[in-house]
Amino acid sequence: MKIAIAADHAGLPLKAEVAKVLTNLGHEVLDLGAHEYDAQDDYPDFARYVGNTIQHQQAERGVIVCGSGVGASVAANKMKGVRAAVCHDVYSAHQGVEHDDMNVLCLGARILGVEPAREVVAAFAGASFTGEERHRRRLEKVLAIEAAN
């Protein structure tokens, strides 16, 4: 699977670990930056980069890393077709994909250590939407809200 990753200055070190995990799992990683530390960069820019790749089907999923993960999630969810969530545990990371067809994982580098982050990323990347009737029904309602706005 092709997975786009991006991070602001706060998430830069953890982004490198995310890339390693995904590559080791056999995924193709599209690194959208940041590529060097810049204390003045802003998480919405990186959320947009990842969201654009999802919208243009240049990647199937994305991972955005910022300080808490919250800002990246808020920004990414403003984009049509993006279903992003902050997940700092394995269960939420796979369940978000399985039940909600989440396509962008947001991580907080100031919240989550490297080892737990590796496990969360692996759970996200390894999960698939179940397509169960109740999950499809709920997803259709979410997509209807998106279409109405």
Report if pTM > 0.85: yes
For every residue of the chain, which 3-state class applies, written as one string? CEEEEEECCCCHHHHHHHHHHHHHCCCEEEECCCCCCCCCCCHHHHHHHHHHHHHCCCCCEEEEEECCCHHHHHHHCCCCCCCEEECCCHHHHHHHHHHHCCCEEEEECCCCCHHHHHHHHHHHHHCCCCCCHHHHHHHHHHHHHHHHC
Catalytic-labelled residue, pool 27, 66, 87, 94:
66
Indicate which residue of 9, 56, 87, 99 is catalytic: 99
Say whether 87 is catalytic: no
pLDDT (0 to 100) of residue 149: 80
Domains with residue ranges and CATH for the chain: 2-148 (3.40.1400.10)
Q: Write the pLDDT tens digit of every residue in 100-133.
A: 999 999 999 999 999 999 999 999 999 999 999 9
Q: What is the pLDDT of residues 59-89, one digit of tens each?
A: 999 999 999 999 999 999 999 999 999 999 9
- The verdict on whether 66 is a catalytic residue reads yes
